[in-house]
């Protein structure tokens, strides 16, 4: 479900960007969902391989290590949520 949600949100952000409309909310939502999807997929891949999933000889170890980056950079998921809270929910700026 999450990869599909990320893809749908990505296309929405791209369309808004192409017509010159603000797309920060959609872009942040895309990044949040895609980061989660990558991390979930990488975790499942490692677990599917069992102990070998942790061995450097298998690429899934690298996918797992790299999947955490999407949750941290270029901004952390918490800051994406801060943006959504402020712009979509009208909550006060929290940072
Ligand atoms: C592989 C990699 C490459 C990078 N490349 C670049 C680059 O080329 N150029 C560049 O400028 N930077 C780069 N960075 C840095 C990256 O942009 C920062 O790591 C990222 O913005 C997170 O900031 P931070 O590391 O200061 O962590 P922090 O912001 O200190 O986050 C630490 C923790 O605190 C939480 N947190 C922070 N603020 C809030 C808040 N307001 N509310 C709730 N929780 C919060 C975070 O979610 C996280 O859990 C890179 C980082 C990595 C890992």
Residue range 8-37, pLDDT digits in tens: 999 999 999 999 999 999 999 999 999 999
66 belongs to a structural domain: yes
94 belongs to a structural domain: no
Q: What 3-state class would DSSP assign to 40?
A: helix
Q: Is the pLDDT of residue 71 over 90?
A: yes
* Residue 8, domain CATH: 1.20.140.10
Name the pLDDT band for 88 (thresholds 50, 70, 90). very high
- Structural domain boundaries, residue 65: 2-87
Per the structure, how many domains does the chain have? 1
CB atoms within 10 A of CB 42: 21
Ligand 1 centre from 51 Cα, in Å? 30
Instruction: Kindly state the percentage of the chain with pLDDT values over 70.
Output: 100
Length of the chain: 95
Is the C-beta atom of 79 inside 6 A of ligand 1?
yes
Task: Name residue, tokens 């102990």.
Answer: 51
Is the C-beta atom of 50 inside 6 A of ligand 1?
no
Strand residue runs (E) in the chain: none
95 belongs to a structural domain: no
Residue 60: which of 72, 44, 71 has the closest Cα? 44
Name the pLDDT band for 58 (thresholds 50, 70, 90). confident
């Amino acid at each position: 479900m999450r990869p599909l949600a990320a893809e749908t949100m990505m296309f929405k952000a791209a369309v808004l960007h192409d017509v010159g409309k603000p797309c920060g909310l959609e872009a942040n939502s895309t990044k949040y969902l895609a980061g989660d999807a990558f991390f979930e997929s990488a975790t499942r891949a490692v677990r599917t391989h069992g102990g070998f999933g942790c061995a450097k000889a298998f690429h899934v170890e690298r996918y797992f290590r790299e999947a955490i980056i999407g949750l941290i950079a270029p901004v952390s998921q918490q800051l994406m949520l801060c943006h959504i809270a402020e712009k979509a929910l009208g909550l006060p700026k929290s940072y």
